[in-house]
A and B are shown apart, each in its own frame.
Chain A
Amino acid sequence: MTPADLTAADLTALAPLIVLGVAIVVSMLLAPKADAALVRYVAALGPFAAMGIAVMRLGTPSLPMPALLVDDGFARLGVALVAATGLACLIFLRPALPAREGPPLMVLATLGGAVLAMANHAATVFLGLEIITLSLLALTVLPRSNASLEAAYKLLILGAIGAAALLLGFALAYAETGDLSLRAWSGSGMLVRLGAALLLAGIAFKFSLVPFHMWTPDLFSGAPPAVAAFAGVASKVAVAVVLIRLAAAPMPEPVWSTGLAAIGVASILLGNIQALRQPSLVRMLGYSAVAHSGYVAVILASGAPLGAEAALFYLASYAPGLIAAFCVAAGMGGAPMLDDLRGLIWRSPIAGAALALALLSLAGLPASVGFLGKFYLFTALIEAEAWALLAAAAVGSALGLYFYMVFMVTLFRRDDTPRPTPQFQTADTILLLTASGMIAALGVNPNPLVNLVRLALP
């Protein structure tokens, strides 16, 4: 296809990628000379427009796409969630000036997530994953501190191993089926099965599932909080869309479901247990993110008819909580310890209340949107009659309740030691208020979000 062959339908379907690309190029060119705030505004236009286009097109019929990409409900919902996360993370991305590359890189990561959400071929899956990994890598070293360099090295080396496993998996399946699209896995030969196992390992790296999760806690504590929030929400949404597409392929069984269930259960248990005694807010969130990945993995492994809906709803419901928690962490210098948070709600009511609501939502307690996510999780597992997975999820949630509550109670403890007040800019405050509003409002009436997710289902 030459540019002249692109039809209006193609352009409509590609519009989110096009606006993101334009925002990247323009903000990249502006970065060296222009005002840092202007660069950030220009960069933010990309995810904002992409989100708007994707949400408006939810529920409209699929358009034919150029090869390698697909335009369906999952793609649009994935793009909308990824772009919304990218926009939110752009707001509290720090340090902003020493690293003028920050805003364009954040939009690049968003573009990678959007490509992944639209991918239906090995080439686009790999490109999307690598764009996310490379831009997250560069974003991680924005502060150039020792902790961020360590996190970046772990992400680089483990990410390369994950990418190698993924490619080998695709290659083995290709050797048997001669097809590289995501539907190619329906074969049942030995090579396809081995390929599926390797593909699972490669995806588990990106989805931070045990035993391939080692980079997650370091990234969450070493990288700027906005970057960690993006890695915790947007890249997971994008990979979850790929997992949903693969499950529809269908993947060779029992390799796929058993493998996914096993690493999912291991992630739930190990993630929650390791989060139990973390004194640092961001490391705790890092280990609990491993556990949240595990919940999504067991939903998809259970094969429940509700699976895709439950997994997407779970990720969407967990996003505002994680973003708000990281925004508070960014305001408190990046890596606040348990002691720094003592009495936060009295010193800085907005930040304290937002963090409290976020922890409530992440723990899955009622009156927060996280409760509905957990509700979907348990419903899907009961529907699939996956009792062992259900037990693991229940134990994990109970453990999670404990460590989230430790942080939550600390927020309300008064003491007389003078502690620094967190620094928030106006945009941060608006973001915190929006995220808290979403957690509380959707917790009371989840219908808007449920309808949004249902529009994406085929």
Chain B
Amino acid sequence: MIGWFPLFLGTLALVSAALAVTRPSVVHGLMWLVAALLSLAATFFALGAGFAGAVQILIYAGAILAVFVFVVMTFDASPPALARERLRLKQAARWPLLMVLALGLPLAFGLWGGAVATGLAPGGRVPVQAVGGLLFGPWAVAVEIASFLLIAALLGARHLVRRDPPTDSERPAP
């Protein structure tokens, strides 16, 4: 087994994530999201994947949360808006809850079933060198392919943020 500490942190992450989606106030939800992301990062550290943990903090808890904070400034947080949000949550909670339960079952089974044999070496530590060696060694082609994923995102974003619809002086296509 992997020990109680990662399990405790994982549970913390799960509870914070549940609270993040059920808070009616978006600021509270965001705070719980930070808690969830940080406890997830701590789980990674506890499991020996320090690099994944650092990336989790830098990118998710850092960069992405900063974008969220900018968006939050445009939201309505008055009491009537909160009441409306509470009502919506109550109406819409059923299916997501069911889905979480369905996904949680295998995890619970993995924890308490005991009979599950895993092919993973427990307690191994993955140093940054190993990750880098993999990414810039045998997986180099996959890294190159991933760069095209970024190009796709970049082109899509460039198209979406263009404000003025350009003039339609399109010449006949080939």
A14 to B103, CA, bound (A): 38
Q: Is the CB–CB distance between B109 and A190 below 8 Å?
A: yes
From B17-25, B68-76, B156-164, the one touching the partner chain is B156-164
Assuming the contacts A1-B137, A95-B168, A138-B159, asked whether A191 and B145 have C-beta atoms less than 8 A apart, the reply is no
Whether B148 is near chain A, meaning CB under 8 Å from some CB there, is: yes
The 0/1 profile, CB within 8 Å of B marked 1, for residues 135-166 of chain A is 10110011010000000000000000000000
A2 to B141, CA, bound (A): 10
The 0/1 profile, CB within 8 Å of B marked 1, for residues 164-204 of chain A is 00001000101111110000000001110010000000000
User: Which single residue of chain B is at the shortest CB-CB distance from A140?
Assistant: B156
Q: How many residues in B have their beta carbons less than 8 Å from beta carbons of A? A: 40
Contact for B141 among A69, A95, A108, CB less than 8 A:
A69
Q: Which residues of B contact A98 (CB under 8 A)?
A: 165-166, 168, 170
Q: Which residues of B contact A95 (CB under 8 A)?
A: 168, 170
**How many pairs of A and B residues are in contact by the CB < 8 Å rule?**
145
Assuming the contacts A21-B148, A130-B149, A194-B106, asked whether A105 and B173 have C-beta atoms less than 8 A apart, the reply is no
Whether A127 is near chain B, meaning CB under 8 Å from some CB there, is: yes
A190 to B136, CA, bound (A): 35
Whether B117 is near chain A, meaning CB under 8 Å from some CB there, is: yes
Q: Tell me which residues from 82 to 121 in chain B have a Cβ below 8 Å from any Cβ of chain A.
A: 103, 106, 109-110, 113, 116-121
User: Which single residue of chain A is at the shortest CB-CB distance from B170?
Assistant: A97
Assuming the contacts A36-B171, A96-B170, asked whether A144 and B156 have C-beta atoms less than 8 A apart, the reply is no
A115 to B143, CA, bound (A): 12
**Nearest CB in chain B: distance from A305 CB, A:** 31
Q: Is the CB–CB distance between B140 and A2 below 8 Å?
A: yes
Q: Is the CB–CB distance between B106 and A425 below 8 Å?
A: no
Q: Which residues of B contact A130 (CB under 8 A)?
A: 149
Q: Which residues of A contact B110 (CB under 8 A)?
A: 175, 191
Whether B152 is near chain A, meaning CB under 8 Å from some CB there, is: yes
Q: Return 17 A-B CB contacts under 8 Å, by A number.
A: A21-B148, A28-B151, A28-B155, A36-B171, A37-B173, A40-B173, A40-B174, A98-B168, A98-B170, A101-B155, A123-B142, A124-B145, A138-B159, A175-B120, A190-B113, A191-B118, A425-B173
Given contacts A67-B141, A142-B159, 19 further A-B contacts (CB under 8 A): A2-B136, A2-B140, A21-B148, A36-B173, A44-B174, A68-B141, A96-B173, A97-B166, A101-B159, A105-B155, A123-B142, A130-B149, A131-B148, A134-B152, A138-B152, A138-B159, A141-B156, A175-B118, A426-B172
